[in-house]
Every structure is written in structure tokens, then in C-alpha cells.
Amino acid sequence: MFFHEDEALASRNTKVYTINPKLIRKFKKSYPDLPKTDQVDAWIIADRLRFGRLTLTVLMQEQYIALQRLTRMRYHLVHNLTREKQFFLQQLFFKCSAFKTETETSVFGHAIMELLLEKFSIDDISSMDVYELADYLKEKGKNRFPNPEQVAKCIQKAARSSYRLSKCVEDTIDILLGTLIESIRSIQAQIKELDKAIKRILAGIPNTLQTIPGIGPIYCAGLIAEIGDIQRFANQAALGKYAGLTWSQHQSGGFEAEDTSMIPSGNRYLRYYLVEAAHSVKRHEPEFRDYYQKKFNEVPKHQHKRALVLTARKLVRLVDVLLRNDQIYTPRRKGNQ
């Protein structure tokens, strides 16, 4: 982006290419005895340029670049949030090992997190009056529990069934849980602020993707930011390959592999938003739900992952048509399917 605007380069009528470092690394393997120096690296890059078969870098408009920065940051925060929650569950197992098996309520609800922040010991929770605990949950949960007394009984049952820790270890776990709760809430607040900024920028970009049931402004923004101008892709197959939603072929002589893997390359951000959007669309759109279920039933293993990725690949075709033709989504009638 910035090299395109450089006056010194522009005066020499240069062309700017963005090359995936993976291509350079693979290309260097054709010279098996070369050392690793800055000079050799520069020579390899120049030789790859001389080799040709490079695509020009597509310049994106500023609003797409701004949106892309936000959606990629959101991707980063969501993955951080997932890691923090996984680590939180590990520490919770030390404090109350039977919590997940005895209770059905979410660990990450406001009331449960407040209960853990109070640093009650397992013995304190198990000996607490059940109605007192239910009132506490009702207050912290803002009356959202349909049956707080039953939830309180389940929590106390989990507390009584859990292993006991020494005071030293339990105090340490309480500190870790408190720190992780604050971290989780901080990341959630940051994601909310990003969502507001994403919606503001998306409002200035005309698109029809939100007419698809299940695709809201966040998933729509993630797709728009990574795709940019749809005309830079020859067809839906090129868009699918750019997202990494395509499968390699393994053939030798008369052998043709039945089990093929998805290519390891592609835009991971676009692939993430396509898969997440497909997961949402299949819950709202019968055609995608039926397609997912069909693919789910085709194989005995990796059923969900395979079906979801194939549903995302189906969504690529729909996204391509809507963006390329600037049309709104119209569900198919059953007689036309």
C-alpha cells in the first residue's frame, strides 16, 4: 500500500508486488546449498521476480483498509478470549472439580463469576443456606435464572463432590480465577467497542450480504473487508481458493485418493468469517441447514468440521453472486431446489 504512494518509486515507473514469504521459502529450496545471509535472501527474492507468474497487488480503498484493521483485531481478540476461557476452566477444575458435571448453568455468566470473585471457599459454598445462595444468584443474575433455588442446590452439590485443596493452594487458585475473570471481562469490553466501530464503517459501504438470514453486521464486515472488490476474482472458485476453501488432488497412475485434505494456504481471516457465518446461516436458512445435515451424515468421522467447512464453501458461491450482481438474497422455493 505505502510503496504505491512512494514518490521515488513512482518516478521510476515501478510496479509493486506483494509476495507471500512462503513462496520465497519454497523457491529457495530449489537451490539446496545456498547459505542464509541478507544478500542471498535479496538475490532469491529478485530471482523469484525474474521467474515471473506474479499477480499485481490490488489496491483497496481506505474504508476497506480501515474495516479490515478492525475485523482482524476482532479476530485476534476473539481467539484471545477463547484461550483465556480455556485457561479459566482449567483453574476452576482445581477449585471445584465437579462444577461442570453437576451444574448446567454457564460458568461465564455474571452471577457465577461474581460468586467466584467473592473468594468463597468450597466449604463456605457447601455450608451456605440454599435460599441465601439462591438470593445471591438472583441478585447478581438480575433475576434471569428461571429456578435460582435449583441452581443453588446444583452448585452446592458440586461443591460437596469436589476435591479439597490446602489453604495455600486454594488462595493461589482464587487469585488466578480473579485475574482471569478481570481479563475475560476486559477482552469482552474491547470486543464491544470494536463492534461499534465496525458497524459505523460498514454503514458507509453498500452491500447486500446482510440480506442473508444469519449474517449480521460483524460477519458481513469480516467478509467485505477481506474480499474488497469482488471483480478482482474471476469467479466463485477463485474466491474459494483465496479463502483456502478448496481441496487438493492426490493421483498417481491408476490411483485416485478418496480422502483429500483442504489446502493449507489461503486467507485465514476470510476463511474464519466464512465458516462462522456458515455456522450462523445454517441455523436460520433451511437450505443451508439441510445441506449441512446431508454432509454430516455422509461420513462416520470428522462429521461436524467437514460438514461446516463444506457449508462455508457453499456460502462462498452465494456471497460471490450477491456481491458480483449487487442483488439481495432470495430464498429458493422448494420446487426449484
* Residues paired with residue 255 on neighbouring β-strands, in sequence order: 252
Residue 109 and residue 146 in one domain:
yes
Residue 154 and residue 253 in one domain:
no
Each residue of 52-66: pLDDT tens digit?
A: 877 656 667 888 999
Residue 222 and residue 167 in one domain:
no
Tell me the pLDDT band of 122, cut-offs 50, 70 and 90.
Answer: confident
Indicate which CATH number applies to the domain containing 136.
1.10.287
Residue 145 and residue 41 in one domain:
no
Residues with Cβ within 8 Å of residue 156, at least 6 apart in sequence: 125, 126, 128, 130, 133
At 100, the amino acid letter reads: K
The domain tally of the chain equals 3
Q: What is the pLDDT of residue 187?
A: 97
Q: What is the pLDDT of residue 56?
A: 56
* Residues paired with residue 262 on neighbouring β-strands, in sequence order: 247
Q: Are 233 and 266 in contact (CB under 8 A)?
A: no
Residue 91 and residue 182 in one domain:
yes
Residue 237 and residue 323 in one domain:
yes
In a domain, 81, yes or no: yes
Residue 183 and residue 100 in one domain:
yes
Residue 318 and residue 215 in one domain:
yes
For residues 297 and 279, give the distance between their C-alpha atoms in angstroms, rounded to a whole number: 17
Q: Please tell me the least confidently modeled range out of 39-43, 75-79, 99-103, 185-189.
A: 99-103
Q: Which three cell numbers stand for residue 93?
A: 477444575
Q: Which three cell numbers stand for residue 188?
A: 469482552
Within 10 angstroms of residue 263's Cβ, the number of other Cβ atoms is: 12
What pTM does this model have?
Answer: 0.82
Each residue of 148-178: pLDDT tens digit?
A: 888 889 988 988 888 888 888 888 998 999 9
In a domain, 132, yes or no: yes
- 3 state DSSP class of 251: strand
Residue 218 and residue 145 in one domain:
no
β-strand pairing of 255-256 with 251-252: antiparallel
Q: What's the domain range around 323?
A: 209-336
- Count the residues in the chain: 337
Q: How far apart are the first and last CA of the chain?
A: 44
In a domain, 57, yes or no: no
In a domain, 267, yes or no: yes
Tell me the pLDDT band of 209, cut-offs 50, 70 and 90.
Answer: very high
Angle at 63 between CA 61 and CA 69, to 5 degrees: 105
Of the three residues 202, 233, 254, the one that is the final residue of a domain is: 202
Tell me the pLDDT band of 336, cut-offs 50, 70 and 90.
Answer: low
What does pLDDT average to over the chain? 88
Mean pLDDT for the stretch of residues 288-294: 95
Residue 186 and residue 88 in one domain:
yes
